[in-house]
Amino acid sequence: MLVLITYDVSTQSAAGKTRLRKVAKECVNYGQRVQNSVFECILDASQLLMLKDRLVSLINEKEDSLRFYYLGNNYQTKVEHFGSKTSYEAEGTLMI
């Protein structure tokens, strides 16, 4: 199923940047980074559990916000895009 993961972290601090990089690295194992802190992952139930555990252990629960949206298996018609299609590397480097 498609799981959308959105991660709100302050990247003003070096620690925040590092956490975003780590979260991105985990997520792109299962999908793609579609925006700076938005990831679309294709996961089965056990992968979801593992990834969720891993991400929750990486974030700062007092400062950061992490949200999961479950879009199911028939997600092709549930996503629409406008504007630029920037792609990101796992490390966070912007690819134009």
Interacting residue ranges for a second copy, rule: CB under 8 A: 4, 6-8, 34-38, 52, 55-56, 59-71, 77-86
Alpha-carbon distance 24 to 47, whole Å?
Answer: 16
C-beta closer to a second copy: residue 14 or 72 = 72
Q: Whose Cβ is closer to a second copy: residue 25's or residue 68's?
A: 68
Q: How far is the CB of 24 from a second copy (least distance, A)?
A: 13
| Distance between CA atoms of residues 64 and 2, nearest Å | 23
- CA quadruple 16, 33, 55, 41: dihedral, nearest 10: 170
CB of 18 to a second copy, least distance (A): 16
- Rounded to whole angstroms, the Cα distance separating 24 from 35 reads 10
Of residues 29 and 65, the one with the C-beta less far from a second copy? 65
Backbone angles phi, psi at 25, to 5 degrees: -60, -45
**CB 68, min distance to a second copy, A:** 4
